[in-house]
Structure formats: structure tokens, C-alpha cells
Amino acid sequence: MIEHHLVAPESPSRVVVLGASGFVGKNLVSHLADLGIATVPLSSTEIDLCTPESVTALQRVIREDDALVLVSAITPDKGKDIRTLMKNLKMGEHVSTFLEQSACSHVVYISSDAVYEDGANPVRETSCCSPASFHGLMHLARERMLAYALGKSGVPYIFLRPCALYGADDTHNSYGPNRFLRTARKEGIITLFGNGEEKRDHVYIKDFSRLIGLCLMHRSEGILNVATGRSISFFDLAQMVNGLCENEVQIECLPRGMPITHRHFDIALTLRAFPSFQYTPLQTGLSETLEAMLNKPGLKSGHDA
């Protein structure tokens, strides 16, 4: 369940964003600015959460009436091994240590749907958490760390577990909308695994920022999956991208190396918690992303999520 500590939305006095230089963080900071919410964007160059000194640095910056958004992580495109896992857990440890020793008004943690077991279908907030990857294990462990630390202070917190995100500033280039749009535009090719039969859900980054903003303004507490509830096959996605491109695009199929799996989401909890919230149709989000890509060559890469 989701509990809103503020039934009527109210802007937090200030929001501190850890991981502000990454894909999610940058878009969120921009969205909060549009809402007129004061924001302190922090990247790893300003506070390195991998070091013990980050605890003191956070204490110098974060005030008791601040809301805190933690989106900083070393993402799978930068490493999927044990070393990466341990670095991410260190970051979680240091933020948790800060939260045990200091106060803030609200915490939003950006987790991942990778915390669920692969066989969960449809995925609900009550689905079994049994990660198959170090990435998912890291997020689940961080959730437990933060819940333990915040349980002592009573500060409300919400864990958001998004499915795959897409948008022009994405730095991960994962299989799906971001990669398809880039390769279609630059190389005239979209490459599928098998015939692209797998069905997945995809969330537009602007929608994710809007949802985070709502959680902040309601001081929402609980666990919430972030998904549109409408999964699409990678083949149909490739055809959609092809239809948006002015250049000729060839769809190529590689031999399949893994069994076909699908993932669908039950978004009933989102509909109850935010009944007026609506996701951007995929066709519209892809069109806006492509237009932004065409107007912004040479996208920045980074380590924050």
C-alpha cells in the first residue's frame, strides 16, 4: 500500500538529489525546476558516496526539512561483477549511516524491477523478490539498508521500482527504445534477438520524473512499481521506431541465445495512489525522444543512474 502523508500536494521546502548528473537525476532536477521546487543537485564529483567521508559531507548539506532522492548508482553498463556490486553497497551503507545519524523529512529511493524474480508475471508490488542479477541484488540490499536506518527515525520513505526507462539523454544504451532509436538513426539498422518476440514495458523518462514529483509533494510512503501496464514485443517496438524514422531502416534478427520470456505489470496500485496520473503513449514518447536526439547530437555519458 501507498500512504500519502500529505493528502493535498505540497511542494517540499527543498529536494536534495544524489546522482543528479545521471539520466534519471538530470531529468528529475529539470522537472523540479519547472515546478518551482528548490533543488540541490549533487553528483559523484561533489560527494563521492563510495568514501566514508561522504557521511560528513551529507551532514553538511542536508537539512532536517529537506527531502532526499537517492538515484546514484554504478549502472550495469559500467559493470555487472562483484566489484561493482560491492561499490554500490558501500554507497548504500554510507547513505544509511547518514540517515541513522541525521534527520531529513522524506526519502525517495530509485530502485529497479530487477529485484523481482524473473518468473514473476504479472509483476505486482507483492511479487517475490528474488533477483537473478547483481544489479537486482544490489537494489534489494539497499532497500533493506535504508528501511533499517529509517525505521529508527520514523522518516517516511518510498521505494520506486521502475521497469526499462527511455529518453534522449539515456547513457545506458540498453536493448530497447534507446538503442533502437540510436542505431536506426545513425546506422539504418535495428538488431533483434531472435525475432524480437519478448514483451516488455517501457516508461518515458519524463513520466518517471512526474511520478517522483508527485511522491515528493504527497510525502508518499511505501513501495511502488513504475510501469505503464502495457507491454509490447521488441519486434513491434522496432516497427514503431522504423515508422518514425525518415531514413530507410533495416530490421535484422540474430540467432536467439536464451529462451523467450515476457514481463507484464499490474499497475493497480499506481492507479489507486495517483488516479489522475497518465503515462505518455509509447508512440508519442518515442517521437519526442527521436526529435530530441536529432536536436542534441553527442549525448553525454556518466556513472549516475
pLDDT per residue over 120-175, tens digit each?
999 999 999 999 999 999 999 999 999 999 998 899 999 999 999 999 999 888 89
Q: Return the beta strands (E) in 28-91 as ranges.
A: 39-42, 66-70
Same domain, 135 and 247: no
Same domain, 65 and 146: yes
Count: domains in the chain: 2
Give the mean model confidence (pLDDT) for residues 3-12: 97
Tens digit of each residue's pLDDT (9 = 90 or more) over 56-65: 999 999 999 9
pLDDT at 214: 98
Q: Kindly tell me the sign of the dihedral angle through the C-alpha atoms of 123, 127, 133, 138.
A: positive
The range of the structural domain enclosing residue 222 comes to 3-165+204-226
Same domain, 116 and 195: no
Percentage of residues in the chain with pLDDT exceeding 90? 89
Same domain, 176 and 30: no
Q: Return the beta strands (E) in 50-152 as ranges.
A: 66-70, 106-110
Same domain, 185 and 211: no
Give the mean model confidence (pLDDT) for residues 216-229: 98
- Residue 175 is assigned to a structural domain of this protein: yes
- Would you say residue 302 has pLDDT above 60? no
Average pLDDT value for the chain:
94
pLDDT at 152: 86
> What count of other Cβ atoms lies within 10 Å of the Cβ of residue 16?
22
Percentage of residues in the chain with pLDDT exceeding 70? 97
DSSP assignment of 144-169, as one string? HHHHHHHHHHT--EEEEEE-EEE-TT
- Where does the pLDDT of residue 176 fall: very low under 50, low under 70, confident under 90, or very high at 90 and above? very high
> What count of other Cβ atoms lies within 10 Å of the Cβ of residue 55?
20
d(CA 235, CA 77): 23
Same domain, 88 and 171: no
Provide the 3-class DSSP secondary structure of residue 199.
Answer: strand
Same domain, 11 and 154: yes
CATH number of residue 214's parent domain: 3.40.50.720
